[in-house]
Structure 1
């Protein structure tokens, strides 16, 4: 991966627990580097137990050796929509894998780190988080066969990248919500000053990404990947996200685009005509630094 011309952030947010945000020229928050749970003296122990839980699951799961984004084993779980489906559904697993993943996802420490990432999403993108919660809440109410995968996380899906060297090539997550954030938790045993950095191509940034730390980025807008780790080291990743198709399905009145075009052409044309203004409206869901606190209050996330 050629990173010439990139700026490297040697982040202190992991050890000092000082969070950092990345903004664009209009001061809108595009990404957040919250690092670790505040005041969590036992956080390293929690992270170690999550890592062990993922290692146990990896040993038991029946998965291919690699995927299109890297040479590591990976599996996705949760609610999704796309690839020609007529309605949203739970990502399917063979029965053995389903049982293994159920044990992994009900692990209290795994649920805790999932909850932390969701809380960080609410903290740094309160308007976007609130829209996720409202829209997905409508979807769950309409389709009761869908279930929230973690009790205290707004994200409807998660990918476990088991490694042993889970470092991805540069890519965008095209199926994710266009303006949505995904949370990325790095795990493993590696020297973050020598490898495992996250690369954000459009922002020309290379960021140290230590084990046990969380980053939230707009993964469908920004090409991202990782620097390789050193020989003999290990790296795993837990990523939470939301498919863009889920939000479009609700916008179309619980129809696919094709269904709505056929059932109600007038309504369909009205929605399509608003797409340009819709994008401006969607971008307004990113908070600015100056209005972040007020947005948290307005969204009833703090008093």
Structure 2
């Protein structure tokens, strides 16, 4: 746990990035792959050349790799069907596009955010993530978890302590959530693992965007596509069964 904390603090010290965005006032750096936001096809998330080199060193760190496998094993234990779904989706995406680099070996998540040093999020939903997927958040740092750093799931009416070295699984797309800020002399980082919903749409469309699929689909195919989208919540409920 200390090695992960040290590596994330190192990333915070040496990276060059804005500390203000819609989730809060802290540095957050993406890694892994996704689709959406103007991309023409799935690809690795973009970082500056300077930050990209640092992020790759973090991804290659054995202690961080162990966290990724720990998260993967946790999802497989509590949500085995969802774990199989995410693993299969990531494998299909990577096989279709060899230019995409796998973020972590032995981990079903396609991407993560490194939230650094004083990470306390505002109330938000991660609406670009797979709607029914459980995102995983690993907490790191040195803070009094009984007084600060709590995880708040606003739309579920839940507040829980979130000690360093622990993981929370949360459906981050539909559930409004945030963190209680830490004290000024403390530090808190996290690694938030997720799967982009755009990757699921790309795969279900036969490796193309919604726009391209609808442009070439017959009326019968388009109706089947709409029917399938309207039943996604049923698919999600099945995958979340233990």
Do they fold alike, i.e. is TM over 0.5?
yes
In 1, distance between residues paired with 2:203 and 2:116? 33
State yes or no: 1:189 paired with 2:189: no
In 2, distance between residues paired with 1:133 and 1:230? 38
Write out per-residue CA displacement over residues 30-53 of structure 1, whole angstroms, 9 at most, x where no aligned residue: xxxxxxxxxxxxxxxxx1000101
Matches within 5 A, 1:121-136: 121-136=75-90
- 1:59 CA drift (Å): 1.3
Tell me if the contact between 2:30 and 2:47 (Cα under 8 Å) persists in the aligned partners: no
Q: Whose Rg is larger? A: 1
- 1:269 CA drift (Å): 2.5
Matches within 5 A, 1:277-296: 277-287=231-241, 292=242
Aligned to 2:191: 238
| Structure 1 residue ranges, 4+ long, deviating more than 4 angstroms after superposition | none
- 1:275 CA drift (Å): 2.5
Q: Which runs of 5+ in 1 are unaligned?
A: 1-46, 293-303
Aligned to 1:120: 74
Q: CA 1:92 to 1:231, structure 2 compared with 1: closer, same or farther past 3 Å? A: closer
- 1:133 CA drift (Å): 1.1
Local SS of the residue matching 1:145: coil
Matches within 5 A, 1:200-215: 200-215=153-168
Aligned to 1:83: 37
- 1:111 CA drift (Å): 0.4
Local SS of the residue matching 2:212: helix
- 1:58 CA drift (Å): 1.4
In 2, distance between residues paired with 1:136 and 1:231? 39
State yes or no: 1:259 paired with 2:212: yes
- 1:231 CA drift (Å): 3.0
Aligned to 1:226: 179
- 1:278 CA drift (Å): 3.2
Write out per-residue CA displacement over residues 106-157 of structure 1, whole angstroms, 9 at most, x where no aligned residue: 0000000111011101111100110111122111111111122001111110
Local SS of the residue matching 1:134: helix
- 1:97 CA drift (Å): 1.2
Aligned to 1:168: 121
State yes or no: 1:102 paired with 2:90: no
- 1:274 CA drift (Å): 2.6
State yes or no: 1:55 paired with 2:9: yes
In 2, distance between residues paired with 1:54 and 1:228? 18
In 2, distance between residues paired with 1:61 and 1:265? 49
